[in-house]
A and B are shown apart, each in its own frame.
Chain A
């Protein structure tokens, strides 16, 4: 076989790679614009503030917005102290030992568990065993487990990037370890930690498999953590699979995508600022 001229090969390879990259980017642009084009006309004051009519096939999505916010806030309230606490312990209180390796490995494994397995676990443990039933609390506990690894990892990275001399100054002024952590390390690491929390919010909002079997799909607005609630993602799934109210489905999808993209873009923007500050 005749060998191709390296210069020609170079041009061909570059062309192929460029077209694959263009394809990937256009898929992204297409998905977002398609959903927004179909969904935005449905959005309106009524749609966002009214309750569901006819099992959600008409009316609004207000109860589902409330459920989504409610479940996300409770999940964060559970996962944030655990995640940030773990990160503080791993970075500020111990050296790298076999125990910290096991903790990191456990967090890594948790990150790899598919959400349907978490849903299965939440269903048998929180809903049935602890008798919490299909409720905001069951859903939030399950989501908290799902986002815990993200919060640990991002908090750890944020804390590690705080310059050592800041800690040394605090210690030399007679600060105890906890004082150093709360008054020096955490304030410096806060933007990074918040970035991790925001990325977790995005995941909570978009999750379906872990929530549908733990929080249920009740239509009314939940009034306590023990009430069942239907999140936006679950509502969208039910509309898309069990009804033909595609207009309502597109509207709900648009709300989901706008919320998640806004939060993620803000998170990336913060991360970018932090990286600039430290480089």
Chain B
């Protein structure tokens, strides 16, 4: 580890390190940059937002006297005349996981300063994300045609529609924003902005390849939220 003066320092690890970091009267996150720490704190706040959505879904589902529609049947698709349960959701899950994989590799190539592979993998991630949103649009269209509304549906408890549109809609919005920022960051990588430390347009902070990792944190978080939605909304 190298401190700003260029000297090598060793910091205590474990609990001693934890106490030292917080009581140092300096920056607490010694090895995480400002940008990374702020992204983590933003993701923490986003965790609470999604937690509240999932909690309200849990509350309405537990307290309704009307049977909850069976997600396994609601989200089934007919393939070859036979209904396959949850198949689209499973495909969407695999797509999002794959996008996380390509993103992780993009971060790796970014730190190796290999612009080509980094930008290409980020664009692949964006393409996966865009196809995910496309499938979500397809799913919404199908359900709306079948009569699902935020205030009711043909199969059971009214709260199903409002929970579904709120939770998946908010997640889809996150994916969409992620795709946009992936494309912006990939363009910066491709132009070589991070090699010449070109300042950001809004932040005026020096561009660094760490920006790719911070972008990756956001993207993995989107995948992480989907893990919880998949388990708690679709499988439960």
Q: Do A and B come from one complex?
A: no
Where the two chains meet, the residues of B that have a C-beta atom closer than 8 Å to any C-beta of A are none
Where the two chains meet, the residues of A that have a C-beta atom closer than 8 Å to any C-beta of B are none
